Structure 1
Amino acid sequence: MMIGTTDLTGIDTEIDLVLRRLIAVNSETDTAGEKDCEAFLTSYLSDIPYFQENRELFGSYAVEEDPLHRAVCWALIKGRGASTVVLIHHYDVVGIEDFKNLREFAFQPDALAEALESIKEELNPEARADLSSGDYLFGRGSADMKAGGAIQLALLKRYSEIKELEGNILLLSLPDEEKLSAGMRAAVDLLDELKEKHGLHYVYGFNSEPHQRRIDGRGLISEGSVGKILSFVSVRGFLSHVGKVFEGFNPVHLLSEIVAETELSPLFSDWINGEAAPPPTWLNLRDRKENYDVSMPLSAGGCISILTLDSDPRNVLKLLRSSAEKSFETVIDRMNSSYTEFCRRTGRTTEKLPWKSLVMTYAELLDEAEEHGGENFRKAYTDERKSIEKRIKEGELDFIEGTFLLTEFVFHFISDLSPRVVLGFVPPYYPNVSNFLLKDLTQSQVMVADRIREFSLENFSVEYEKESYYTGISDLSYLSLKDSRGVQSELKRDMPLYGDAYSIPLEKIEALSMPCVNIGPWGKDFHKLTERVYKPDLYIQTPALLDHAIRFILEQEK
């Protein structure tokens, strides 16, 4: 079959040309630069003869209500039958703050390499050696993930030249992966629409995020992607003057204990088939005082990032609640111990402090406010939520600050002033996905990763490991799902801003569910000054491996 004889001669030159042009576009997340990259991609696709003859088979799909008016760039090559592979990559990159006085070279690989050469003694030994070797291409986005995008685009161009293609190939180039994955969430609707319009049957999804090597000389293939849950913890204290500390309850004290209890805690790490999710870490933490005075803060809050392999939001909230309850009791015991010692030293009569542990979910807080405030609360809450959502859409607030503001508003309708902890979720939410979680896969779908490994060993003498989860977080999270209704219910209950400002088409994802693999070039130091991609992987090995996998699945699933 023609797809089995794809000619990759000279594709290294095409990849290099596309990649350098992609890197040259500063497409930092949440900036107008993403639109500039979209314009480049549209221009690139429109220059391919196949799409000049089939203009209805490529285009831009708008991200709904996006303040930056970003869009998914897509292109479909139609062949025989309904079987379709989906190639995804993102075109946004993280910022360049760490480049400091080398910022002007961040998007110029050759100029950056020269500039790094002048400061190479400041680099770590591995980066210094890689720079001297000439085997790596440096620059922001060189690895994460414009290299993978360039590989997919170059392959797409080759497939467009095949006259009798077996199956169909759909490419999705996505904005905003580094922040909220607005591009991939919009692409789910696009996938659904294209499926209906063209009679497509999605048999496999391929992402080309870079991989990091755990063992020298051995690559890495991922048959899924880790999930991510961003949980918020809001602690309400009890005000007092700093000269009367035992009359108050400092929320910073309790929040600090919760952080100590949960930061890097293995209790939150899912363990499956010898793989483990990296333990959680706190990404945001502060008291909620706007100005200095000599009172304790009334509230404090923070957000903890929890990566998952098979846990859902309900499981995570249960674990977090248990940790918060333990921390609350620890703080109360510590305060009582301190107060007892204070009373002993000052000759006062000792009595227990009045504080009791109280931990609840955001949904439970809402129920309490509604019980006390009734219709007045419901109307006021709806208005306040709409106001916060509007400010988020206009870029005045982010989701974290908006969540805490809405939580604090609810407290206006709570009559019980006792200290408490409120738990919930903040966007974004990434479901965990892995092929072994999917039922009814065909034998060929199960074999894709192993075929890639065999092909690499036979043709390049490079061994590849196989893992069930890519732990770097990726848009693959939106290619399959189980129990969409259960997840939707939990997000609606305990993610305060889930709905108009942020949503996920969960039921569509479950309906479209397809197996997936991440196969991308070897890269190092993602999001750092010395970000780089390995040239032999970029130009030769990864394109061949991805092409082989695409050929295999389309030939088997015809």
Structure 2
Amino acid sequence: MSDLLWDKPESLRTLLCELVSWQSRSRTEGEINFANNLKAKLTELQYFKKNSNYVNLYEAGQGRKVVTALYKSRESVETIVLISHFDTVGTEEFGNLESLAYQPEELTKALLDHKIELPLDARVDLESGDYLFGRGTMDMKMGLALHMSLIEKASIEKWPINLLLVTVPDEEVDSAGMRAAIPKLAQMQVEHGLDYKLFLNSEPSFSQKPGDTKYYIYSGSIGKIMPAVLFYGKETHVGEPMSGLTANFMASFLTQQMEWNPFFREFDLGESTPLPVSLQQKDLKINYTTQTPYRVEALYNVFLMKRNATEIMNIFHQVATESANACNSAYMKICEREGIEPIGKVNVLHYEELEYYAKGRLGPEVVASLKDEVIANPSWDDREKSIRIADILMTNCQELGPTMILLFAPPYYPAVNASDNPAVIEAVDLVKKIGSEKFDLDVHQIHYFNGISDLSYVSYMDDKQEWDSYERNTPVWGETYSIPFADMQKLNAPVLNIGPFGKDAHKRTERLHMESAFHQVPVMLESLVRSMFSLKEIVE
């Protein structure tokens, strides 16, 4: 055991702090550099010094890389895929301590001089000495450190099992890293003759409500999809308001119906999805003028359990149609009151209908050119580009207005669940037993991880007809955004998430519970891996 670098709590803590110190905020140079740093760190292991071809980097766009490290046993084709992400959110909220955000030991000490600034629960945790503070300690570089420790031990003790570590960038934004990794996983499955038996993530255990300190493991991950709409009205001068129809007026009807709408809520295995809310609503006018706003966009967050994109679009269409009818009714009453003729009736169209119409009216080449013009704008992200493509097509087909154009804006996370899988049932029972017997810890199972995770991109079960709806109604599909649905279907293995307990992800007070991270979870993960492959149970 003396040859192991990362098998003790102290060495795990040191490894974590080193990983955190490689700051890797999404969309920064740090995120780009992290992959090379990690590859160099992994090749410190004797196994990868001898098998350097088993540590690889793969392109994930914008200079970012996916890192894979394969421990390949000569005795088995059965494989556990260890999934993590290494990007983090920003650190602006750390204020005058921002320079220490990626230095956990120093930050935790420094916070003692600033504890009056902290919420009471964070202050109590700080003074207890049980937590390590810092950006990425909880979400989720500790998960990566645990996977590195597992693969090291497997390589030295020559476990009859394959472990494939996969860690990705960009989970916090669009999951470009995981979407890029999926085709590589499908390729490696064939190239190395691997039989994937489990996709094991180690995202942290999240509290279910403020003050909740229960420890959770997850046998699935909630899905997320973003229905969006371009409201296209009729412009006019503010001095002649009844000569037009503002998009704000139109949007008010749909947004009221979308916010907290129970039609979108799902129930499964005693759990339910959070209700939908609007994530963004804004006028597309760049500058202030006295022209009324006639183009407005809105993005709505919808969580999923069993439903797919087609089902969500059908519900979205129903809600939008009812909202358009209500809008038309209210508008007609106003026109009657003012004694004027209405300018038109608000319609509802899907983006695919708009594009089909535009190609017929303008020609496919013109439509392609208009889309390219939007795609080429470097200052717009995929969400903005999606709306702007619909907008530029509508601007050239204004006879379709006033209308609500329904579409999808990235990202899309399909839901995944393995709660009824026999191997997962056994794994959950084992982890509960280990927690109880070794640590007097109650382990609670949740069927859908509600923090959204990259597990959404494995074990996809719907047929092509279902994902076609997403492709056809996502304006940037195949240009700046895509999902490898076909390769996802090839990765047909159950999922499980077991990670360390922590609090306040994405907050200044993000912190990791050290007993959970350095003592409890390492034992539970190793016991799980050993049990799945009929290895001798871990002996303390």
Please state whether the residue corresponding to 2:360 is helix, strand or coil.
helix
**1:506 and 2:485 are equivalent in the alignment:** yes
- Figure out how many residues of one structure are paired with residues of the other and give that number: 531
Q: Which residue of 2 aligns with 1:295?
A: 291
Offset of residue 504 of structure 1: 1.4
Q: Which residue of 1 aligns with 2:218?
A: 222
Q: Which residue of 2 aligns with 1:346?
A: none
Q: Which residue of 2 aligns with 1:420?
A: 403
Q: Which residue of 1 aligns with 2:168?
A: 174
Q: Which residue of 2 aligns with 1:112?
A: 107
AA of the residue aligned to 1:112: L
CA distance in structure 2 between the aligned counterparts of 1:229 and 1:427, rounded to whole angstroms: 8
Query: Which structure 2 residues correspond to residues 256-275 of structure 1 after superposition, within 5 A?
Result: 256-275=252-271
User: Conserved in 2, the CA contact under 8 Å of 1:14 and 1:154?
Assistant: no
**1:433 and 2:422 are equivalent in the alignment:** no
Query: Which structure 2 residues correspond to residues 443-454 of structure 1 after superposition, within 5 A?
Result: 443-454=422-433
User: Conserved in 2, the CA contact under 8 Å of 1:217 and 1:463?
Assistant: no
Cα deviation digits, residues 228-276 of structure 1 (max 9, x gap): 1122110001112222222211101221322222122222121112111
Offset of residue 319 of structure 1: 1.6
Query: Which structure 2 residues correspond to residues 511-550 of structure 1 after superposition, within 5 A?
Result: 511-550=490-529
> Structure 2: which 5+ residue stretches go unaligned?
536-540
Cα deviation digits, residues 99-155 of structure 1 (max 9, x gap): 122211111112222332223222211111011111011000110001111111122
User: Conserved in 1, the CA contact under 8 Å of 2:24 and 2:87?
Assistant: yes
Q: Which residue of 1 aligns with 2:26?
A: 29
User: Conserved in 2, the CA contact under 8 Å of 1:84 and 1:554?
Assistant: no
Please state whether the residue corresponding to 2:170 is helix, strand or coil.
coil
Q: Which residue of 1 aligns with 2:359?
A: 370
Q: Which residue of 1 aligns with 2:538?
A: none
Offset of residue 409 of structure 1: 1.6
User: Conserved in 2, the CA contact under 8 Å of 1:177 and 1:184?
Assistant: yes
User: Conserved in 2, the CA contact under 8 Å of 1:252 and 1:300?
Assistant: yes
CA distance in structure 2 between the aligned counterparts of 1:431 and 1:280, rounded to whole angstroms: 16
AA of the residue aligned to 1:523: G
Q: Structure 1 residues 465 and 420 mapped into 2: Cα distance closer, same or farther (>3 Å)? A: same
Report sequence identity in percent: 32
CA distance in structure 2 between the aligned counterparts of 1:417 and 1:61, rounded to whole angstroms: 44
CA distance in structure 1 between the aligned counterparts of 2:287 and 2:154, rounded to whole angstroms: 61
Offset of residue 193 of structure 1: 1.8
Q: Which residue of 2 aligns with 1:59?
A: 56
Taking only aligned residues, the RMSD between alpha carbons, in angstroms, comes to 2.1
Q: Which residue of 2 aligns with 1:347?
A: none
Q: Which moved more, 1:308-317 or 1:106-115?
A: 106-115
Offset of residue 7 of structure 1: 9.5
Offset of residue 332 of structure 1: 2.9
Q: Which residue of 1 aligns with 2:437?
A: 458
CA distance in structure 1 between the aligned counterparts of 2:351 and 2:220, rounded to whole angstroms: 31
CA distance in structure 2 between the aligned counterparts of 1:279 and 1:7, rounded to whole angstroms: 47
**1:186 and 2:165 are equivalent in the alignment:** no
**1:471 and 2:450 are equivalent in the alignment:** yes
CA distance in structure 2 between the aligned counterparts of 1:243 and 1:389, rounded to whole angstroms: 36
Query: Which structure 2 residues correspond to residues 259-338 of structure 1 after superposition, within 5 A?
Result: 259-338=255-334
CA distance in structure 1 between the aligned counterparts of 2:398 and 2:455, rounded to whole angstroms: 45
Offset of residue 76 of structure 1: 0.9
CA distance in structure 2 between the aligned counterparts of 1:469 and 1:137, rounded to whole angstroms: 27
**1:361 and 2:350 are equivalent in the alignment:** yes
CA distance in structure 2 between the aligned counterparts of 1:25 and 1:98, rounded to whole angstroms: 19
Offset of residue 351 of structure 1: 5.8
AA of the residue aligned to 1:266: P
Query: Which structure 2 residues correspond to residues 68-83 of structure 1 after superposition, within 5 A?
Result: 69-79=63-73, 80-83=75-78
CA distance in structure 2 between the aligned counterparts of 1:484 and 1:553, rounded to whole angstroms: 30
Offset of residue 339 of structure 1: 4.7
CA distance in structure 2 between the aligned counterparts of 1:10 and 1:193, rounded to whole angstroms: 31
CA distance in structure 1 between the aligned counterparts of 2:340 and 2:369, rounded to whole angstroms: 45
Offset of residue 30 of structure 1: 1.1
Q: Structure 1 residues 217 and 412 mapped into 2: Cα distance closer, same or farther (>3 Å)? A: closer
User: Conserved in 2, the CA contact under 8 Å of 1:284 and 1:303?
Assistant: yes
Q: Which residue of 1 aligns with 2:80?
A: 85
CA distance in structure 2 between the aligned counterparts of 1:507 and 1:135, rounded to whole angstroms: 45
